[in-house]
Amino acid sequence: MRRVSFVLALVIASSAGFALAQASSVEVQGSRPECVAVLAEARMQAFGWDHYVRLRNGCAQPMTCRVSTNVNPTPQSLPLAVGETRETLMWRGSPASTFVANVECAAR
């Protein structure tokens, strides 16, 4: 019984450590209206970290946002309708769990 408890505790501790290992800190820079919400995150996958940027347009008018990162400086242009949420994959399989997103938005 003691061995089962030890193994169970080990599994729980490993799971908690794995969940913490998936967390990443991502900085977001750039100029945009406060009504455009940005979430940038790195998600652990089988072969590294995938870098995502999610945008939500809470503005009263359509917006166009240019998204780039320090890992992928080639900007992607994302049109956003009023109330729309979009997510874009900026890099797949990075060895780095951190990156800096740059998001510039303006009204269309």
12 in a structural domain: no
The total number of structural domains that make up the chain: 1
**4 burial via Cβ count (<10 Å: 0-12, 13-18, 19+):** exposed
Q: What CATH number does the domain containing 35 carry?
A: 2.60.40.3230
Residue-wise burial string across 45-79, b where 16 or more C-beta atoms lie within 10 A, e elsewhere: eeeebbbbbebbbebeeebebebbbebbeeeeebe
16 in a structural domain: no
- The verdict on pTM exceeding 0.85 is no
5 in a structural domain: no
11 in a structural domain: no
Task: Count CB neighbours of 41 within 10 A.
Answer: 19
Q: What is the pLDDT of residues 18-75, one digit of tens each?
A: 443 455 668 999 999 999 999 999 999 999 999 999 999 999 999 999 999 999 999 9
Q: Which domain holds residue 50?
A: 24-107
